[in-house]
Structure 1
Amino acid sequence: MYYDLNVPWTSRDADLQRKISFLGDLGYNVLALSHMLSGKFPVDTTCPIPATLPFAISPTIQILRRLTLVIQDSSQNHRIKDLTSPAWGYDILAVRPTDEKTLQHACVSLECDIISLDLAIRYPFHFKYKMFSAAVERGVRIELCYGPGIAAFDSTCRQRVIENATSLIRITRGRGLIISSEAGNVLSCRGPADIVNLAAIWGLGQERGMEAITKEARSCAVAARIKRTSYRGLIDVIYGGEKPVKESASTKQEQNQMKGKRKAAEMTVEPDKDRVDKPVSKRQMKRMAAEARKTSGVNKEASIGKEENQNGTSTDVVTTVKPREKDVD
């Protein structure tokens, strides 16, 4: 999946639809619509980007909402943590420092997802490895935007974009970089293959250039979502429902009595059902036949024994009578 995490949002639906559809045709799957704030913090910082766009888009495109905050004074930082709450409606929070002090604070301790520098201007200080390495270790991504260099009409602006991009690639050693468009119009958009070639010209290898629009960008979006929908990145916060109402003791006793009655009724009814409905198996029929044969054999032996006993008594009578007949003669 290809990511473009910096697509400037506009209230003109026709221009925005044209830009999103063109990026989808180029092969991008995830687009982050960026709303930029500069100056003092407004009282209401609710996201103006609607959750559902008023026009149809391709089902293969996922839309994220991003806030790009231009930091001109470090005194504004105390309210930045509130913007990471899901109540504001933003999926990604990016900061754009304007001087060395705000850049130092953004790299070391500021709660943000992306540090996006304006590559079209000249900075009066040098980029330092310690600052950006601290940001990369915290999971903050450094963004390189190619759109201002393509849309620029003078060569000086293009030269500054190339100088700043090559300097950031050299300082970060190619780690923790993402490449976005920041395209003001359709003409400034480029496809993934063109971006990889452009990164190679800046001094970033092709493998790192591909990771800048795939792996690194995806890690940034997933980490931002975990920050807003979980507790300290470990437990997902979901709606668990309402607590059950405690039942009184009387209702519990009534329920137990009803359960006891049901069990007693089942105990009295189930044996009759088993006797009537349960068919007799062949094995059981064989056992019953064998028992019947045994009982019939025992009865026969008992009847034969009785007959023998009766015959024996009759013979005894005959033997006792014969001597008396001889004595009479």
Structure 2
Amino acid sequence: MYFDLNVPIPLPSGGLATQFTKGKAKQVQSPQFTPAQLTAIEARIDLLVHLGYSVLAFNQQIKTKVEPKTFINTLDPLLRHVKKRLGVIYLKRLTILLDEDSEKGFGLTNAQTDLFSPYDIIALAPTTEGSFSLACLTHTQPSPLSAHVISVPLDVPRLSFHMKHTMVRTALRNGAVFEIPYASALDSNAKRNWWAAAREVVRVTKGKGLIVTSGGLDVADLRAPKDIANLLTFLGLAQNVTHDSATTNPKSLVLRAQTRKTYRAVFSEPKLVLPGISGVGPVVASDRVETKPSGERLAESKSAAVASQVPLMAEPPTPLDGRQSKRARDSAGLTDCNTVGGARKKRKGKKSG
């Protein structure tokens, strides 16, 4: 099972829709995709499925601060128009571009949890030193708004910040992954910058916690998973690492991203199972509860406590006479030589001889 967790979606054309709130009509903006955009998206999905990908994450990217009044979810309307395919899973991803203004706050607060809960994956794209530190140290901790993908811009001439080992290790320890989109490596204008930035990401992470995605709008930029694995080997990665970047690591990321909806990244909520309930199992004798008066229960508890403290005395054995002891030895297969008296008679016989 191969994953592509970065399938960019073009911006839809805006439209007005009527929304009724408490009996009052209100005009709100709703995204509407044109037939040409839907056709292009369907063609890209068909090609990705043909190449061998079975889990696709549609990516919505925002460049401004998240405001509840102006924020629009464009992926939910898209999934209503995209036709379902057998064996293909669709996910929703939100990528927030962090700049200098984002260091003071860009909307990832507990008061706006409802805006981000529909998305399966939350990714951060830092562009400054402060935003990179904020993304690695703060927003990767387990919370309802934790981000599990850090997307470093690889198509710029030079990274505007230094990737420190301490920040990267902290992000990896918290469960975050670093993304390497390969679309820029196929562009003649940006591939030189891509190789330099990608090598820096591989050097700092040491090949751990990496995922490879497409990240391109053009159909000509899509490649098969095996071709991308061969491309990443030129960055100094082993073949098993390149294979895990498209299979194992994205799968772990998706499972970990599901824990955002639970408390402190718990995979499942505990359930209390009571015996004797239909569907659980038959009631055993130890599970039955008998109602007795309080006086009888107190007496039984006292007697049980006394019995547990006082050891049981065994009955003394009855003494046996000579004939009964001899019969007992004969029945047990013992002879006179095995007894103390028999051994003395045997030694006397040897001395006399």
- Return the TM-score normalized by structure 1: 0.67
Q: What does 1:1-329 align with in structure 2 at a 5 Å threshold?
A: 1-10=1-10, 11=33, 12-44=37-69, 45-50=71-76, 52-72=79-99, 73-77=102-106, 79-80=108-109, 85=114, 88-110=117-139, 111-121=146-156, 122-150=158-186, 152-154=187-189, 157-228=190-261, 230-234=262-266, 236=268
Shift of 1:153: 3.6
Contact 2:57 2:91 in 1 (8 A): yes
Contact 1:95 1:106 in 2 (8 A): yes
Shift of 1:118: 1.3
Shift of 1:50: 2.1
Long gaps (5+) in structure 2? 11-32, 140-145, 273-353
Query: How many Å separate the matches in 1 of 2:110 and 2:213?
Result: 24
Paired residues in the alignment total 236
Contact 1:4 1:180 in 2 (8 A): yes
Encode CA deviations 1:47-79: one digit per residue, 9 max, x unaligned.
Answer: 211273413242111000000000112112453
Give the secondary structure class of the aligned counterpart of 1:210: helix
The aligned amino acid for 2:208 is: R
Query: How many Å separate the matches in 1 of 2:95 and 2:108?
Result: 14
Taking a change above 3 Å as real, the CA distance of residues 57 and 78 of structure 1, as seen in their structure-2 partners, is closer
Match of 1:323 in 2: none
Contact 1:21 1:58 in 2 (8 A): no
Shift of 1:109: 1.2
Shift of 1:235: 6.3
Taking a change above 3 Å as real, the CA distance of residues 99 and 206 of structure 1, as seen in their structure-2 partners, is same
The aligned amino acid for 2:104 is: S
Encode CA deviations 1:299-324: one digit per residue, 9 max, x unaligned.
Answer: xxxxxxxxxxxxxxxxxxxxxxxxxx
Taking a change above 3 Å as real, the CA distance of residues 21 and 43 of structure 1, as seen in their structure-2 partners, is same
Give the secondary structure class of the aligned counterpart of 2:217: coil
Shift of 1:84: 5.7
Shift of 1:46: 4.4
Shift of 1:145: 0.6
Give the secondary structure class of the aligned counterpart of 2:265: coil
Match of 2:278 in 1: none
Let me know the Cα RMSD of the aligned residues.
2.3
Query: How many Å separate the matches in 2 of 1:145 and 1:83?
Result: 29
Long gaps (5+) in structure 1? 241-329
Contact 2:126 2:152 in 1 (8 A): yes
Shift of 1:185: 1.6
Query: How many Å separate the matches in 1 of 2:52 and 2:111?
Result: 34
Bigger-Rg structure (1/2): 1
Give the secondary structure class of the aligned counterpart of 2:92: strand
Percent identity of paired positions between Structure 1 and Structure 2: 28
Encode CA deviations 1:215-271: one digit per residue, 9 max, x unaligned.
Answer: 10011111111222x232336469x9xxxxxxxxxxxxxxxxxxxxxxxxxxxxxxx
Taking a change above 3 Å as real, the CA distance of residues 227 and 196 of structure 1, as seen in their structure-2 partners, is same
| Greater per-residue helix proportion | 1
Shift of 1:101: 1.0
Contact 1:2 1:213 in 2 (8 A): yes
Taking a change above 3 Å as real, the CA distance of residues 87 and 143 of structure 1, as seen in their structure-2 partners, is closer
Encode CA deviations 1:29-59: one digit per residue, 9 max, x unaligned.
Answer: 1000000000232334342112734132421
Match of 2:348 in 1: none
